[in-house]
Amino acid sequence: MTETLESIAQAMVASGKGILAADESSGTIKKRFDSINVESTADSRRDYREMLFRTEEAMKKYISGVILYDETIRQKAKDGTPLVDLIRKAGSIPGIKVDTGATDMPGFPGEKITEGLDGLGKRLAEYYDLGARFAKWRAVIDIAAGIPTRTCLEANAEALARYAALCQQAKIVPIVEPEVLMDGGHDIDRCFEVTEETLRILFDRLAAHRVRLEGTVLKPNMVIAGKKCGKQASAEEVAEKTIACFKRTVPASIPGIVFLSGGQSDEDATAHLNAMNAIGGFPWKMSFSYGRALQAAPLKAWSGETQNVPAGQKAFLHRAKMNGLATLGDWKAALEKAA
Ligand code: 13P
């Protein structure tokens, strides 16, 4: 079959599967390694990620694609096999993070703008040659008193749309990620309001830049209360409000929505996704593109020791399988059956 943007996007959201976000920047992976007292070096980062990509059952059955960082897409496994080939051999698609991070937005205290457009066309062509068939760009929207401003939402949406257009020109499927953070003390309704406005502006800019939605994947936050909010919503409320928000704002031509976990516990991230798919009745696939919610358990089980690789792989397989079940709305029933 000839590969098209549409066919890649469809494969990224294949039934029962989701995406492993393993594109932590050097700064972020250092924080993760600090938590297990492991020094972050090119070799330790390679060993850790090689462990994940060699978890054959998880990769083959539950992981449709892996988002890589610039260093990783160029790295080789201990035996000399490019890491990209490990991913491809497992039938999964390599992807690449291409933004260069979010920086303070001048004139807008507390708000961030994501950078990385300069020279992006050339970088995408190189990533395509290295095997990437999809990319990711993350915008960060914080909720606090008086923010986000419309200017911040518009500037970030414009950058996401320009990135997406460049990706499609390079035959790479863009994952557009406007992340409304869950760090604040806001309630779920405020998250709804901000997510709704963020998505409305984003799809307006995507249309303006002639981005083909059939070849685009959306990576949003769920509609959820801030971590510091005293009133946390039930899984059913998160699911209902997230679906309602997206029905208002996300065109049906988008093949799939893959959520970020954003600091939710492993189990919450699975329960919320499962609740949405159990409700159903929407035109898109609803799946995952989790970083922390897939990796926290394997990272801890591994803790930098070669002898712990089987334990790390077992932990990764478990989370991948639970989230795979959640994409079908079958997680809760499987849990009850196992109990
Ligand atoms: P989390 O699931 O840890 O939020 O990471 C996903 C991601 O790729 C954020 O850009």
Residue 137: give the domain boundaries: 5-338
**Which of 64-73, 90-99, 329-338 bottoms out in mean pLDDT, i.e. has the lowest?**
329-338
Radius of gyration of the chain (CA): 19
For ligand 1, whether the C-beta of 291 sits within 6 Å is yes
Query: Nearest to residue 110, comparing CAs of 145, 73, 159, 137?
Result: 145
E-strand stretches of the chain: 18-21, 63-68, 93-97, 102-104, 112-114, 134-141, 173-180, 217-218, 256-259, 285-290
How far apart are the C-alpha atoms of 91 and 223, rounded to whole Å?
A: 32
Q: Please measure the distance between the N-terminal and C-terminal CA atoms of the chain and give it in whole angstroms.
A: 43
Residue range 190-208, pLDDT digits in tens: 999 999 999 999 999 999 9
Residue range 149-174, pLDDT digits in tens: 999 999 999 999 999 999 999 999 99
Residue 178's domain is classified under what CATH number? 3.20.20.70
H helices present in 130-234, as ranges: 150-169, 188-208
- Residue 276 CB neighbour total at 10 angstroms: 25
* Set 97, 112, 219, 285: catalytic member: 219
User: Which residue(s) pair with 140 in the sheet?
Assistant: 179
Residue range 14-65, pLDDT digits in tens: 999 999 999 999 999 999 999 999 999 999 999 999 999 999 999 999 999 9
Mutate to test the pocket of ligand 1, among 19, 257, 290, 323 (most ligand atoms within 8 A of CB): 290
For ligand 1, whether the C-beta of 296 sits within 6 Å is no
Per-residue pLDDT band for 307 (boundaries 50, 70, 90) equals very high
Query: Based on the structure, what is the number of domains in the chain?
Result: 1
